[in-house]
A and B are shown apart, each in its own frame.
Chain A
Amino acid sequence: MKPGTMGFIPRTRAAMEAADLGLSLLQAHWRPVARVWGLQLGFLLALLLPFLHQTPLWVLAVLWWLKPWLDRGVLFVLSRAVFGQPASVWDFLGEWRSVHRRGLVAGLLWRRLSPMRSYVLPVSQLEGLRGAGYRRRARVLTRKGGGTGFLLTCSGWAFTLLTAVGFIALVQAMMPAGSRVQVWDGFNNPGPGFQWFLLGVGLLALTLTEPLFVAGGFGLYLNRRTHLEGWDLELAFRRLAARLALVLLLAWAMPLRLAAQAPVQEPTAQVPAPEASDDAPQPTPQTGPQPGPQPEPQPAPRPADGPLRPDEEARQRAQRILEQDPAFKHTKEVRTLSYEPTGREPRWLRSLLDYLFAKEEPAQPSKPQNLDFLKRMWDLLALVGKVVVVGGLLAFVLWLVYRFRHRLGLPLVEAKAWEAPEAVAGLDIRPESLPPDVPEAARNLFLRGEARAALALLYRGALAELVHRRAMEIPASATEGDCLRAAEGHLEEGPAGAFHLLTGTWQRLAYKNEAPTRDAFEALCDAWPAAFGGRP
């Protein structure tokens, strides 16, 4: 962190003023913050609404719980804006992993209700500290300004609530005079409409207050680091050094100019070179007038001596503190696989290894790679979406053609061809199982005393006629009554009457064991050919 490049003037501020600094930062960079916030919120809503659209209040509750995740986007934009770096939505997507890599789970679980959430959020997100390191760092930070951080959290709650209540009151106030709609009554019996209204109000309140809360905490954080690390002092020193360098340059330039104008003197008049009192690399000044060309202008030489130059002991102490104090230095050892091409590997292996280890190559910045990856994912999603849309359209058109095929004059395709059963519950109704002359064969059976077989032959002959020649759909589960009802719609009056008589006679024989008289049977046989057309 270089204080000179910061977009604010680092100086020690009171805690409240520091929080105000954060709000000013947000004010200056509200557009990118709003874009990233909108992206995150839209993403969450798209994720939640398909599952919880029937209970909008649950959506609000889940969003409230996921606020630390939303805060990370705001902090990302502000932290980059502080150093004048762009923080667009694409930058945010490019840094997606680094933004969410550290401390997100803790922030959503055991640190969710932390009273100084926004104050210490940068410790995990920007400094990447976890576990004991995080706790030590947070302790150091909150030693001062912790109370303001807590107040900020409380005021965040209060403002969110006030915004929501105020908006509801506004809607109620906007109701036309005489309207019977009482918005407050919705709390007594929250119907679906009122729940959606509350979700909208909640989203509005969150959107208006949450970035302020994060920005205030970030201001406190910046101020505390200015305190701890003396950013203001460093900046002052740097300015002083730059000013002194200018003075010295002038001081050096004057004698040189004079020397160029004066006649050549003996080198004995040389101004003694200052003895280097420290081991820092020092530009070697031109120590005397020299014949020949004008000396090259020197790049801002550091002062050779003076109060700004730390002595060796102080430097070493500072270095020690910087290296040993965990508040300033965080060392992390990372082991990773890398790949050095030998030139002998096959092309496919090379491309695979290049792909696998591409992110590890230090020469390539990570952001464009992430963006490439996102772009590839986006292209893939676009392709899938295109296929789905085109396929859906095609299917819709085909369905329309099928649905209205009768209007288009297309041949009607039967959904499923009716397959006549070979037997209806034990009665073989295949045409080939019937004798050539059914009534005659039945008569013979009846004369032999086999009334049941005779009547069964007549009945199944009639069924075969109905099923095979008249294409009636009689399933195996059809009772006699079902067959009769089905036949009523298909048969003319004569055959229908004959079938009715035949069915009644058959039922009495089958279920009452009451055989028909010979005359009745003969009547049935006589009516059979006309009604059922002889052999089917």
Chain B
Amino acid sequence: MTTPSASPDPARIPWAAEQAEALRTEIHRALVGQGPVVGQVLAAFLAGGHVLLEGVPGLGKTLLVRALATTFQGAFARIQFTPDLMPSDVTGHAMWDMKSEQFHLRRGPVFTNLLLADEVNRAPAKTQAALLEVMQEQQVSLEGRTLPVEAPFMVLATQNPIEQEGTYPLPEAQLDRFLLKVRMDYPEAAEEAALVRQVTTDTVGDALRVDGVRPLMGAAEVLELQRLVATVRVDDAVLDYAVRIVRTTRQWPGIALGAGPRGAIALVRTARAQALLEGRDFATPDDVKAMALPALRHRIQRSPETEIEGLGSDDLLLALLAKVPAPRA
């Protein structure tokens, strides 16, 4: 994550909360409904993490990312992952210039602020791994040179939960790099009606319309917001609660492999962002609990018998959360 250039002022947390709320409102101008999804994506954005979006096509994943990019005047790039996509198509490559008789670096689409990796599981592991370095280190190694990616940087990868034919499931190491795995479900009936009305009114074709979204801040403000999130107070009891949840996943029946320490780190980071989104400068166990599902669902592996019974990761985590005692300081 970007190192803050100056120590953030905790007194500006109310301003940050206002800005976060304004971001949410602006995104909802383009994307109708999907409140929890927007909240979780914003939490990951403010916490400086990456998001894996899972949902069937046509729910507005791309629209969400474009709206988010528009709110802070950031650069936006999209890569459609295909089986023949090469790592150089993601990170960039060196090109021989006949005139100057020199190699010129041609930067790939990862050099942006918001990267939408569409259907990330359609590309083979080699190409998926090309994202690993830039996600973790926020830098790209090209032709022996290390090129930093401009902050803020966030990857929003999408994958389709239904089509498994011809896909390459993301390796555990890469799944762990995503701060949150957000499930995008079909909207409610009223939301869907409003969405259809909004999209079809005064619109030709099926172009994504984000022109209603106003830019609210620049990259510098986003970085300040992210630094302020890091100052949100997390009491020992809350931190202990997050750790207890993660540790319980390792002994919970039905979970073959529990979450690692990165799970607890993700939980606390996103709990901070969630507290800010709620307008608080301190995190509560509620924030941890609210972020437990998206932060942990991709970090646990179900046991074979659980899979046979048809229980999903969310079912297991909900049962687990109902049993882990909440702290009262």
Contacts and interface: CB of A to CB of B under 8 A. Distances in A.
Interface of A: 424-427, 452, 456, 459-460, 475-482, 507-513
Contacts of A425: 325-328
Interface string B259-287: 00000000000000000000001111110
Given A426-B325, A480-B326, A482-B289, 10 more contacts: A426-B327, A427-B328, A476-B325, A479-B285, A479-B286, A480-B286, A481-B285, A507-B282, A511-B285, A512-B235
Contacts of A482: 286, 289, 326
Contacts of A426: 325, 327-328
A426 B328 CA distance: 6
A510 B289 contact: no
**Taking chain B's interface residues, is the majority helix, strand, or loop, or is none over half, making it mixed?**
loop
B233 interface: yes
Interface in B270-328: 281-286, 289, 321-328
Contact of B289 (A459, A460, A479): A479
A510 B328 contact: yes
B204 interface: no
A481 B328 contact: no
B267 to A, nearest CB: 14
Contacts of B286: 479-482
Contact of B235 (A424, A475, A477, A513): A513
Given A477-B322, A477-B323, A510 B329 contact: yes
A511 B326 contact: no
Given A424-B328, A477-B326, A481-B289, A511 B282 contact: yes
28 contacts: A425-B328, A426-B327, A426-B328, A459-B328, A460-B328, A476-B325, A477-B321, A477-B323, A477-B325, A478-B326, A479-B284, A479-B286, A479-B289, A481-B289, A482-B289, A507-B284, A508-B282, A510-B235, A510-B237, A510-B328, A511-B233, A511-B237, A511-B238, A511-B284, A512-B233, A512-B235, A512-B281, A512-B282
A508 B282 CA distance: 8
A511 B282 CA distance: 7
Pick from B283, B324, B326 the residue with the most CB of A within 10 Å: B326
Contacts of B329: 452, 509-511
Contacts of B284: 479-481, 507, 511
Contact of A480 (B233, B283, B285, B324): B285
Pick from B282, B328, B329 the residue with the most CB of A within 10 Å: B328
A511 B280 CA distance: 11
Nearest to A513: B235
A283 to B, nearest CB: 84
Interface residues of B, number: 20
Contacts of A481: 284-286, 289
A450 to B, nearest CB: 14
B247 to A, nearest CB: 15
A459 to B, nearest CB: 8
Nearest to B327: A425
A508 B235 CA distance: 10
Interface in B183-222: none
Contacts of B235: 510-513
A533 to B, nearest CB: 22
A452 B328 CA distance: 11
Contacts of B327: 425-426
A511 B283 contact: yes
A162 B312 CA distance: 51
A198 to B, nearest CB: 26
Contacts of A477: 321-326
Contacts of B237: 510-511
Contacts of A452: 329
B219 to A, nearest CB: 30
A66 to B, nearest CB: 31
A456 B321 CA distance: 23
A321 B325 CA distance: 94
Nearest to A475: B322
A386 B323 CA distance: 45
Contacts of B328: 424-427, 456, 459-460, 510
Nearest to A429: B328
Interface in B218-237: 233, 235, 237
A155 to B, nearest CB: 45
Nearest to B233: A512
A158 to B, nearest CB: 41
B52 to A, nearest CB: 26
B238 to A, nearest CB: 6
A397 to B, nearest CB: 30
Interface in B42-92: none
Contacts of A424: 326, 328
Contacts of A460: 328
A479 B328 CA distance: 8
Nearest to A484: B286
B164 to A, nearest CB: 20
Contacts of A508: 282
A281 to B, nearest CB: 80
Nearest to A508: B282
**Pairs A-B, 7 closest by C-beta atoms:** A481-B286, A510-B329, A512-B282, A425-B325, A511-B235, A479-B285, A479-B326
